[in-house]
Amino acid sequence: MSEQTVIQPPANLIGRDVLTLLDFMSGEINDLLNFSEQLKENQKQNGQTLLLPGKSLGMIFENASTRTRVSFEVGMTQLGGHSLFLSPRDLQIGRGEPIKDTANVLSRYLDAIMIRTNSHESVEELAVHSDVPVINALTDLYHPCQALADLLTIKEHKGKLEGLKTAFIGDGNNVAHSLLIACAKVGMDAAIAVPKGYEPDDKVWKEIQQTAEENGTELELTNNPEEAAKDADVIYTDVWASMGYEEEQTKREKAFEGFQIDEELCANAKEDYIFLHCLPAHRGEEVAAEVIDGAHSVIYDEAENRLHVQKAILASVIE
């Protein structure tokens, strides 16, 4: 075992909620990415980095999860803390208890609350009434933890972020929202190609446009996948029917014809492009098997990095 170096989280993030990356300055995002890199390297070299001994994280899940639950739970353990899985069946909130009451009570037991739910408004209300940091682990509008893992993965494989181009092709959903915000915050150009009627949320799109303008990055919205993919350094997609939209599967399959990420589409990108997918994936639907399982795919590095960025978030916001 090599000698351990002292690793310190960014001091200016203590007590902060993590609801959307819109609330973070570019420098703060880069600080989190740098801290994630340090934690990842130390974990591989030395094992646990016990920055949160005796601390507890409550994890509220209203939706099923693989990567989010496991990465947060393992991450908290590796930091020396403890996590509690809380489903609607475990909480009185599932029987109609007001969010205000739940937030006030959990704040007296826990050091932070992570929540994965359908309504972003519920997360905002939880944060208003909580005395401890609230971390958004996915809502209908944003998925900030995923976007940070995406940035870390791009940085690892490309050696930089600023000046690169990311192309998101698929549904203008929560994953797309946070990815585009993240790109603009760190100086990356971005293009999103969606079928007509599946554009990003109007309010969020205006926020993304403003963020891109403030940071001097190019932003494109198109209905043409080839146009979005042109000269891209990163190709990204998500399932066509996210959680909550399963009943629209057949309708969406028809609407998304021509939007599959295959080798022909990727030929428009740079030769050394990388492929990202937040997972779970449907091979043969939104992405061809030869792409997601091919040499350009870094999806498992991306999934692993959920662990490292979430450890960085936890160690940075928990006091």
CA distance readout (Å), 231 to 191, 200, 220, 237, 272: 11, 22, 13, 16, 10
- Distance separating alpha carbons of residues 276 and 315, to the nearest angstrom: 26
Residue 2's pLDDT band (boundaries 50, 70, 90)?
A: very low
Q: E strands along 194-270, which residues? A: 219-222, 234-237
Q: Annotation-wise, does 45 bind a ligand?
A: no
pLDDT in tens, 112-155: 999 999 999 999 999 999 999 999 999 999 999 999 999 999 99
Residue 224 has pLDDT above 90, yes or no: yes
Q: Annotation-wise, does 242 bind a ligand?
A: yes
Q: Annotation-wise, does 101 bind a ligand?
A: no
**pLDDT computed for residue 1 by the predictor:** 38
**pLDDT computed for residue 241 by the predictor:** 85
Residue 4 has pLDDT above 70, yes or no: no
For residue 144 the two structure tokens come to 């900030």
What 125-128 contacts at long range (C-beta under 8 Å, 24+ apart), as own/partner pairs, is 125/99, 125/100, 126/99, 126/102, 127/17, 127/19, 127/103, 128/103
> What are φ and ψ of residue 234, in 5° steps?
-135, 130
Cis amide leading into 144 (omega within 30): no
The residue count for the chain: 319
- Same topology, domains 26-142+306-318 and 145-302? Answer is yes
The closest alpha carbon to 195, from 240, 146, 145, belongs to: 240
User: How confident is the model over 232-244, as a mean pLDDT?
Assistant: 90
Residue 233 has pLDDT above 50, yes or no: yes
User: How confident is the model over 179-197, as a mean pLDDT?
Assistant: 98
Residue 3 has pLDDT above 60, yes or no: no
| CB 316, CB 10: distance < 8 Å | yes
**pLDDT computed for residue 287 by the predictor:** 98
- What is the chain's alpha carbon radius of gyration, rounded to the nearest angstrom? 19
CATH class for the region spanning 145-302: alpha beta
- Distance separating alpha carbons of residues 31 and 17, to the nearest angstrom: 16
- Distance separating alpha carbons of residues 234 and 167, to the nearest angstrom: 6
Residue 89's pLDDT band (boundaries 50, 70, 90)?
A: confident
Residue 246's pLDDT band (boundaries 50, 70, 90)?
A: confident
pTM: 0.95
| CB 258, CB 252: distance < 8 Å | no
The closest alpha carbon to 239, from 229, 247, 249, belongs to: 249
26-142+306-318 is a CATH 3.40.50.1370 domain = yes
Q: Annotation-wise, does 68 bind a ligand?
A: yes
Catalytic residues: 116, 143, 146, 238, 278, 306
| CB 42, CB 67: distance < 8 Å | no
Q: Which residues pair with 276 in a beta bridge?
A: 236
pLDDT in tens, 269-295: 999 999 999 999 999 999 999 999 999
**pLDDT computed for residue 12 by the predictor:** 93
Residue 7 has pLDDT above 90, yes or no: no
Residue 96 has pLDDT above 90, yes or no: no
Residue 243 has pLDDT above 80, yes or no: no
**pLDDT computed for residue 48 by the predictor:** 79
User: How confident is the model over 36-47, as a mean pLDDT?
Assistant: 94
**pLDDT computed for residue 94 by the predictor:** 64
- Can you tell me whether residue 169 is helix, strand or coil? strand
> Across the chain, what does the average pLDDT equal?
95
Domain residue limits, the chain: 26-142+306-318, 145-302
Residue 27 has pLDDT above 70, yes or no: yes
User: How confident is the model over 69-84, as a mean pLDDT?
Assistant: 97
Residue 147 CB partners (closer than 8 Å, separation 6+)? 21, 175, 178, 179, 181, 182
Rounded to the nearest 10 degrees, the angle between the axes of helix 174-185 and helix 144-158 is: 50
Residue 229 CB partners (closer than 8 Å, separation 6+)? 167, 169, 191, 193, 235, 265, 266, 268, 269
Q: Annotation-wise, does 143 bind a ligand?
A: yes
Residue 247's pLDDT band (boundaries 50, 70, 90)?
A: confident
What H or E segment, with its residue span, contains residue 283?
none
**pLDDT computed for residue 211 by the predictor:** 98
Q: CB-based burial of residue 217 (10 Å sphere; 0-12 exposed, 13-18 middle, 19+ buried)?
A: buried
Residue 246 CB partners (closer than 8 Å, separation 6+)? none
- Can you tell me whether residue 223 is helix, strand or coil? coil
Residue 100 has pLDDT above 80, yes or no: yes
